[in-house]
Amino acid sequence: MTNDGDAVFPLDAEALALFDAKGELPGRHIPQSGRSNAAKVRRILQLTRDLAGGSIEGLRILDVGCGEGVYAIEAALHGADVLAVDGRTERMAAGAACAERHGLRNVRFEQRDARALNADQIGTFDVVYLLGILYHFDAPEVFDVLRAMRALCRRFMLIDTLVASAPEADVEWDGQHYEGKRVREHEDQDSAAVRGARVLRSLDHTGWTAVLQCHAPVEPDKAADRITLVASAGRPVRLSTYPWSNVPGGGR
């Protein structure tokens, strides 16, 4: 399916209701859930098109932790070839059914653990989405996941995640120190069934040449400690004017 211009593809009422309720849980208010999530979807698709040179059509996109698949489906409607993966099937099944009803053959939904993704199994991608999933990983898993995503990504990755405005923990990885904050999502005694039922939490418990923070398109309800990042999978520039800087860790 191709729709990389200004046309809007008509989705059925069941699909619109699914995305209108995205992220909403009884008794809990989550910023940018439900209809307000439209601002985030617009930001991600606009970034994808602009950074890809003006067209989404033909891009190979990996959506990690896809949930209902709203980003995957929207990208597929714009002509991308999308693989949407999630560790759970509860929400993903609804997105797969939506794609099937609308004849979207260029998006696939598969149950896969983000920590076990590799190019030998799924290939490589022009764009990788890590939207609302990175903060579910503790150290050192978060670094391992980012390294794995770098191996899968040919052009750029879009990250939407929480950041620690007041770091409380310091961890070391690959000779570098990183500050952050740990948030417990499950108790040690919680059963697998209890953990699995918490569909907006974790399943249990780099190498980019440029990383940019996005401020537009605007997301009016975005929390102060949540940001959107663009990580470019390019080739490091080597300098003639400051040759000592070409050596890792070089400096004067």
What is the 3-state composition of the chain as percent helix, strand, coil, each rounded to the nearest 5? 30, 20, 50
4 contact partners, CB below 8 Å, separation of at least 6: 49, 55, 56, 57, 78, 79
Flag whether pLDDT at 102 surpasses 50. yes
Q: Does residue 111 contact residue 92 with C-beta atoms inside 8 Å?
A: yes
Structure tokens at 167: 């770091």
What pLDDT, on the 0 to 100 scale, is given for residue 7?
75
| 172 phi/psi in degrees, rounded to 5 | -115, 135
Domains of the chain: 13-235 (3.40.50.150)
Higher per-residue confidence, 135 vs 21: 21
What pLDDT, on the 0 to 100 scale, is given for residue 199?
33
DSSP letter, residue 137: P
199 contact partners, CB below 8 Å, separation of at least 6: 88, 90, 91
Beta strands at 169-173 and 176-180: parallel, antiparallel or unpaired = antiparallel
What pLDDT, on the 0 to 100 scale, is given for residue 114?
87
pLDDT band at 35, cuts 50/70/90? confident
What pLDDT, on the 0 to 100 scale, is given for residue 75?
96
Quote the CA–CA distance of 57 and 139 in Å, as a whole number.
Answer: 36
pLDDT tens readout for residues 46-62: 999 999 999 999 999 99
Beta strands at 81-86 and 107-111: parallel, antiparallel or unpaired = parallel
Flag whether pLDDT at 224 surpasses 90. no
Structure tokens at 119: 């190019």
Which pTM does this prediction carry?
A: 0.78
What pLDDT, on the 0 to 100 scale, is given for residue 220?
87
